[in-house]
Amino acid sequence: MNITESNFNLVDFRIGEYPLLNINHLLYINYVEDIRSASIRMEVQITDSQTGLVSSLQGMEPVFIGWEDHKGNAIANYMVIYDIQDRVTKGGSSKATLLLCTPDMINNAATKLSKRFGKGGGDKISKIVAEDLLGKQLNTVYDIEGSIEETVNKISFISPFWAPFTIIKWLCSKAISAKSAGGKNASAGYCFFQNNSGYNFKSYDSFTREEPVRKIVVGHKAEEMEEEEDKNILPVDKMIVKKSSDVLRGLNMGSYASNVMTLDVKDMKYEQFPFNINKYYEDIPLMNKNYSVPEYYSKFKKGTAATRYMSKVLDTALYTEGTYTDGMTAQISQAALREKLFFNKEVEVEYVGTNEMTVGMVVELMVFKGKEQELDVQNSGKYVVGRVQRQFLTKNNQMNTKLTLFTDSPGSEDTRTSGMEENNTGISG
């Protein structure tokens, strides 16, 4: 795409019952999806010199805003104003910054549940999330069809005046995927997030089984890529490795060697679960299958003293007998460490492109370095799109996109590179 070409077209912009707004009322948009967030968030700055709209806003007004890129890919969201900031009037003109979230986020904050879920023998966690919490409690209008990954384990519990999203987050650490539960590599740990397609309740392990939907290429000659035919490559000029294997933080968090101690107040049962990264790393499914175990992991051998001791009081009386009591101590530790490993490495790329990328996509990052443009094996490999931030500035008339990518393992010599020689090309994505 030519950098002078606009990739943003405001299709619809309405606030409550006020007259339809246009591009002249819009100063900027910040649109954010995050794999760690239950709601899409937006920040919109508006200006007005005639209708008095800015001064009359009180908060909680519904907002509909939709735009499309130069390829016709559309984003449209029903939102609610939850805060109004920096309201300024000068020279007959007013402006304000509107903070927007989904109606579900508002309903969630206003809902506190004290009730039992999974009566009797318990219900599958995925069923509780989809039917009880998102369906009955929030009555969501967002799509959940096909995006709630089935769990194998059942649970029965009492919610102590928790909000629905709080309950779902709590259930994330207890959910085991039905797709992997039969093998030795099954592990607990889910994430819950909203993207432009709707809600997602997915195991961290599920991302390791997905094939990349897009190649993101850094450092390759643009003119060479333009000669290719496939439209599945997103070229970017640079990347920033924001975080990569913070060993000191890992030691403090107990990510390599830890000991979880639990006391069940129901029967005063005390348990310990020592954790060692080497055994875990061998069994867990990872994004890059042909990885080599990091050398410093070898220092944490069996019997190595824990770098963190964690204690937790349990009350299995909250659970129906047999639904979720066995192996609870081990699972608490394993699920927490699975999540930390998922976010082990963080990379940022930024580009001018379309609306196609969304949180939860699996991509292949290919990084080339030096004059010879050799593949940077360590930084290449499979990643998950963990955050999408789109920013439109009226004065620039362009939408910029920043992607934050996460991976749990480094690349290897076997990282797929055939696409560069066969049938890939550059696109604006």
List the single range of 176-180, 313-317, 424-428 with lowest mean pLDDT. 424-428
Give whichever of 19-33, 180-194, 255-269, 282-296 has the largest mean pLDDT.
Answer: 19-33
Average of per-residue pLDDT values in the chain: 83
Which tokens sit at 140? 């969501």
pLDDT digits over 57-92, tens only?
Answer: 999 999 999 999 888 889 999 999 999 999 998 877
Query: Residue 337 pLDDT > 70, yes or no?
Result: yes
Residue with token string 């410093």? 296
Which tokens sit at 44? 């919109």
Query: Residue 44 pLDDT > 90, yes or no?
Result: yes
Per-residue pLDDT, 173: 87
Please tell me the pTM assigned to this model: 0.86
Cβ burial 217-249 (10 Å sphere, 16+ → b, else e): bbbbeeeebeebeeebbbbbeebeeeeeeeeee
- Alpha-carbon distance of 378 to 244, in angstroms, equals 11
pLDDT digits over 408-418, tens only?
Answer: 888 766 554 44
Pairwise pLDDT comparison (266 vs 316), residue with the higher score:
266
Task: Write down all domains in the chain, each with its CATH number in brackets.
Answer: 9-102 (2.30.300.10), 107-206 (3.55.50), 211-245+344-421 (2.40.30.150), 247-340 (no CATH)
pLDDT digits over 246-258, tens only?
Answer: 777 777 777 777 8
Cβ neighbours of 13 (radius 10 Å): 19
302: left (phi over 0), alpha (psi -120 to 50) or beta: beta
Query: Residue 320 pLDDT > 70, yes or no?
Result: no
CA distances from 121 to 59, 84, 324 (A): 44, 47, 10
Pairwise pLDDT comparison (268 vs 291), residue with the higher score:
268
- Mean pLDDT of the 210-228 span: 74
Per-residue pLDDT, 157: 85
- Alpha-carbon distance of 56 to 397, in angstroms, equals 28
pLDDT digits over 356-365, tens only?
Answer: 999 999 999 9
pLDDT digits over 148-165, tens only?
Answer: 999 988 888 889 899 999
- Quickly state the pLDDT bin for 327 (edges 50, 70, 90): low
Task: Tell me if 105 sits within 8 A of 78, measured CB to CB.
Answer: no
pLDDT digits over 365-384, tens only?
Answer: 999 887 777 888 889 999 99
Q: Measured at the alpha carbon of residue 329, what is the angle toward residues 37 and 306, in degrees to the nearest 5?
A: 90
Per-residue pLDDT, 31: 97
Task: Tell me if 369 sits within 8 A of 219, measured CB to CB.
Answer: yes
Q: Please, where are the H alpha helices in 2-86?
A: 53-56
Strands of 248-361, DSSP E:
257-264, 269-276, 308-314, 345-352
Q: Measured at the alpha carbon of residue 226, what is the angle toward residues 222 and 230, in degrees to the nearest 5?
A: 125
Pairwise pLDDT comparison (12 vs 332), residue with the higher score:
12
Cβ burial 359-374 (10 Å sphere, 16+ → b, else e): bbbbbbbbbbeeeeee
Query: Residue 423 pLDDT > 60, yes or no?
Result: no
